[in-house]
Amino acid sequence: MKALVSKFTSQLEEALHIGKEAKLTSCDKDIRNVVITGLGGSGIGGTIVAQLVANEIVIPVIINKDYHLPNFVNENTLVIASSFSGNTEETLSALSIAQEKGAEIACITSGGKMLRNSN
């Protein structure tokens, strides 16, 4: 644990660098809700973000840790799928459902099937 804590500032610097290099495109959809899907360490970021923006955001942000997505997900939903490995079964299943429903999708991953299937 001490080693992890001692590396925290360098991990923050790396995270900022990754954020600056991210490939983001604008969206012309009328986003009415956000679903953040991911498990374990990959999912905790969504929980933190949802709590940080809770008093500012005017649309619902739902945290999902399941194979399925809520029935309301549609083309006006932003689905953020998070899987460090890119191979988390539940997250990949939810991502596939989001694609079928025409949701706006953002993926956070280091590789795996998620990276290959998100392009």
The model's pLDDT over 2-40, given as tens digits with 9 standing for 90+, comes to 887 788 888 878 878 888 887 778 888 999 999 999 998
Provide the pLDDT for residue 19.
80
Tell me how far apart the alpha carbons of residues 37 and 16 are, in angstroms, rounded to a whole number.
22
Average pLDDT, the chain: 90
What does the domain layout of the chain look like in residue ranges?
A: 25-117
Tell me how far apart the alpha carbons of residues 116 and 96 are, in angstroms, rounded to a whole number.
13
Count Cα neighbours of 46 within 13 Å in the Cβ-side half-sphere: 26
Q: Which segments within the chain are labelled E, that is strand?
A: 33-37, 61-64, 77-83, 104-109
Provide the pLDDT for residue 8.
81
Domain 25-117 = CATH 3.40.50.10490: yes
* pLDDT-derived band at 99, boundaries 50, 70, 90: very high
* pLDDT-derived band at 119, boundaries 50, 70, 90: low
pTM, 2 dp:
0.84
